[in-house]
Structure 1
Amino acid sequence: MSYAKVAIRYATSFLEASIEKNILDQAASDMEIILNAIDGSSLLRRFLENPVVKTDLKKSIINEIFRKHVSAETLKFIEFIVDKNRENALKEIAEKFLDLKDEHIGVARVDIKSAFELSIEQKKIIEQKFESLLNKKVVANYTVDENVIGGFVAKVKDTVYDASVSHQLELLRQQLLKGSLLLN
């Protein structure tokens, strides 16, 4: 189920409160902890989605799980979400909060796949290109994917930049096919 509208509303609210209280870095760190916990535990996900568990019990258990790992402000925010019966959207809220925080501080996260491990120099060049293209500071995550024949494939949110050899060959093939159609 998509909780996009709910996530935007709650994440925006918490982002604004975090900025106002000057705790944005701490709140972002807390949201990463929460997101990792939810991603890493199917039991926690099922617990959050279970409508049978009473609100007070959910708040108590969430408090027990997170109180040593997140700030009091973040814990109050989570309890507020539970009070509003939106705990099933907590994962999406945390993801949206981190996206909004990146946008607020001018950071773009770029996932880059290449056929082999790139050198530090190559990484630096790619990051500089994306910083000038996106006009934001780039935080890159590199992975090796042997399906990429050469070059790289980068993804920024929903946009894919395909600078791989296989993609270039496909474009060339399409141009040749189009050219042969024009000759007939």
Structure 2
Amino acid sequence: MSIGTVASRYAKSLIELAQEKKVVEEVYQDMVLFKSVATQNRGVMLALSSPVIRHEKKLGILKAIFQDKVNPVSYTIFTIITKKNREAILESIADEFVKQYNLLKGIQKAVVTTSIPLDAALRAQFNAMVNKMTGMTVELEEKVDEKLIGGYILRVQDQQIDASLKSRLNNLKLELLN
């Protein structure tokens, strides 16, 4: 079974448990914290995914870092996953949990890449565009790539709208070569 499937199942179970215990927001914050720690300290994830390190040590690492900082429901899932020898997929579970949380709350993440930083009016236009496409509340991530020359690239889930000048110039170049 693929890591994504297993992570999705654990995340679904966790979100259902969090809903039952009425701690969805706290568990969401815990998963964001876990993702942040995993991103900022790759050593933690290397230790958790190492087949050489014993599971008791891995649980000790998780306990030292998270036991006093997270909700008991979140810490319990860390313990269960460690006992099932699946510590290596904790980051994937946290990612899946965030996705399912966003789906539950009606939040759609979108990434817009432009050649210059967005002002408030453009930000509002992109939010409205994504809202119209998905019917969900928009969480917009902004990136700046000066190589685009002008225009934008908007990515929503698996859809991408490339309205960049760089892309148009490349298309024109291909047409002229044919």
TM-score normalized by the length of structure 1: 0.88
- Give the C-alpha shift of residue 158 in structure 1: 2.8
Looking at structure 2, the residues matched to 160 and 51 of structure 1 have their Cα atoms a distance apart, in angstroms, of 38
The residue correspondences of 1:157-168 to structure 2 (distance < 5 A) are 157-168=157-168
Q: Where do 5+ consecutive residues of structure 2 fail to align?
A: none
1:144 paired residue number:
144
1:112 paired residue number:
112
- Of residues 124-133 and 50-59 in structure 1, the stretch that sits farther from structure 2 once superposed is 50-59
Q: Aligned pair 1:54/2:54, yes or no?
A: yes
- Give the C-alpha shift of residue 26 in structure 1: 0.9
- Of residues 159-168 and 99-108 in structure 1, the stretch that sits farther from structure 2 once superposed is 159-168
Looking at structure 2, the residues matched to 58 and 167 of structure 1 have their Cα atoms a distance apart, in angstroms, of 47
1:39 paired residue number:
39
Task: Calculate percent identity across the aligned residue pairs.
Answer: 26
Between structure 1 and structure 2, the one with the greater Rg is 1
How large is the Cα RMSD of the aligned pairs? 1.8
Looking at structure 1, the residues matched to 158 and 37 of structure 2 have their Cα atoms a distance apart, in angstroms, of 24
1:133 paired residue number:
133
1:37 maps to amino acid? V
Alpha-carbon displacement from aligned partner over 1:92-151 (angstroms, at most 9, x marks no partner): 111111011111111111111100112101110111011011111110011211011111
Looking at structure 2, the residues matched to 52 and 164 of structure 1 have their Cα atoms a distance apart, in angstroms, of 48
Q: How many residues are matched?
A: 177
TM-score normalized by the length of structure 2: 0.91
Q: Where do 5+ consecutive residues of structure 1 fail to align?
A: none
- Give the C-alpha shift of residue 61 in structure 1: 2.2
Q: Aligned pair 1:11/2:11, yes or no?
A: yes
2:101 paired residue number:
101
1:73 paired residue number:
73
Contact 1:33 1:69 in 2 (8 A): no
